Structure 1
Amino acid sequence: MMENQNKDKALLEAVQSHPFFHGVEVGTALSLLKDCQFKQYDKNEILLYKDRQREGLILILEGFVEVYVENEVLEVVQKGEMLGFSSIADFLGFPRRTKDEVTVESRAASKVKVMYIPFQVMARRWEDPFVRDYLLTQVAVRLRDVYGSLAEQVQLAREFGENEVFMLRVQDMMTEKVITIDSHATVMEAAKKMHEHHTSSILVMEDGALKGIITERDIVGRVVAKGMLLTDSVSLIMTKNPITISRLAYYYDAIGSIFTNGIKHLPVVEDGEIVGIVTLSDLLRKKNENVMKTIKQIEEADEMGLPTVKRAVYSIVDTLLQENIPIDKTLDIITNLYDRLVVRIVHLAVENLKKRGMISQLNSPFIKWGAVVVVNNLC
């Protein structure tokens, strides 16, 4: 008995401040809650199916929910907001135009707790002018936001030369497993951790707050090249106050931020907490897998396959130009690919010299010079 009372009290505290329960006495609120259902969903579980009749509203108590059509996300509903406003038409008795009418689905974008509010509870609250005005206002706001979101994505897609509207959000592309290290740790500890987890970056934290980020390039350029000690603090080499992005931002927001700021890693922050990280590689992989395929092709190429790599790089140049990617960023991408190609050629040259027993007769700079000549001939 005591357990049920505590449960009712916890549920009441969770929803009593919501406008739907505005001005309701405790006894009445508990009576309404008994007719509602409380459910939990794991990430990617479906809350509302497109082919099932709506039977009420859903109040989000915790987490995020995506509303989508054929995997194109229309909006993200957060804690305190409601789902299923199209069911108000059913509640008011307006028939659907066709049985096969296209409708949306909803899925959990994280672990989610919700409360189902059936029509019978809606009927008891509909007579309250405050509640009725709140629900109708929410319908109008949601309609405005959906139209605004669609218009924004169409505009951004056109600016980037995209033929199809790309409505992916950062949370659809980010890596949720984030590797972190304390700000008092050493460079050696950071490097070991990055190696163990096969990651190209690590976030520097202090008292639970993000203070900086370290990448492989930082370790090479700020430690190796400048002769810093591996026992030095990571705070001396990290990029302080890194650019971050929201999990609800769109694909174009992320790639625009990366191109504008000249970075390759974007920590994803929500309510002050790190929830993931998205990289340039993630964005290119999602948008255009040709770059990643070419990188793999370069790293696996033998002497006979090097000319095909050149054609693959040309194809990427064509793709980036067609998509109106800024020319300086296009050059960065292509330069990176050619750098990888040089490294591969050097590796092949060294292996060839080892086989012929000539490696001791040549020094490293000469080998690199020969590799560059080969690259120039290929280009």
Structure 2
Amino acid sequence: MSHNFKMVATTIFGLEEVLATELRNLGAQHVEIGIRNVSFSGDKGFMYKANMALRTAIRILKPIKRFKVFDEDDLYKKFQQIDWERIMNVDSTFAIGAVVNSKNFTTNSHYISLKSKDAIADYFRHKYHKRPNVDVKHPDVKIHVHIQKDLCSVSLDSSGDSLHKRGYRNLTNIAPINEVLAAGLVLLSGYTGDCNFIDPMCGSGTILIEAAMIANNIPANINRKEFGFEKWSDYDEDLFFTIQDSLLKKIRSCHFKIMGFDKAPSAVRKAKENIENANLTDFVGVHHVNFFNSVKEVFGPTTILFNPPYGERLDIDIQEFYKKIGDTLKNGYPDSTVWFITSNLEGLKYVGLRTSKKIPLKNGDLDCRFVRYDMYEGSRKTKKASQ
């Protein structure tokens, strides 16, 4: 019988609570929220499931050692004390990623990676007169080093490539949104497939795809070619396919409309191709429409969620652009819950609508707000009077 062990799922700042909820719903034990990460316990099968199903995780790490560390030489010595044969052999290829947040270390993360790599290589060379090779692109074993103040955590990266690389997105536009962030926005909005969904500035379609996968309960990483744990010596292929089958049996069908608009024909083409790659063509429609000239054409409650230009990489008149967003929503989109993310906090002032929620998030290095506006059928006064 498989035993439980501790794991850590990393995420984007602001999505920790969402990830913790995902983990609990999936069946994780001892879920604890950190900063940009959530720790939990589960067995090997759960590690496979977490990689396949979690929408807001970037990596699933399996800790192998924690120790106090005071400088680079101390790190090298402590690395030499780890029993590396339990993790890899001399013919394995490996790669190391490091994150350092400590005054004890004046060097950068790259140097810490190199020092750790040397320690592992020397460990094997002293014992076998041969050293394992580094393969940055496609290693057998990926090791993650995290130094916080004087505490170093060494983990195996069970994911391999970052979990935002879902496997469906071949084509992108100038400022594509990360898949993990897109999924996080949909989950934060509360959308579950129980109403219509519109992304009125859909770009290459990432938000639409993540929304459709949530609406139909399709595992987030079902289109991925491989995970890091598939190269581990204890990989259990039968268990992997058993877990995968159990997740696929939980897929349901969403009967509401999921639609995207974009004013650029090239974006519409890219979105359609990515949607096809994700096998979601039956669930998502994309239309060549300028949102500012549009009105709501679907009946009933609708979630509108989008990632408008912030003015960072796309040159726009912020005041005019954000005012147009507000006017279009006010005039054409009644009975809608509207969400969008922006780093342009100045731009929000020009929308001319009152936010009912503002959630701080990060999009890459940008400090953002994820804002909600409630567009009622008729005016707000009429709505209140009828209650």
| TM-score normalised over the length of structure 2 | 0.24
Q: Determine which structure has more spread, i.e. the larger CA radius of gyration.
A: 1
- Which structure's residues are more often strand, by fraction? 2
Give the helix-richer structure, 1 or 2: 1
**TM-score, scaled to structure 1:** 0.24
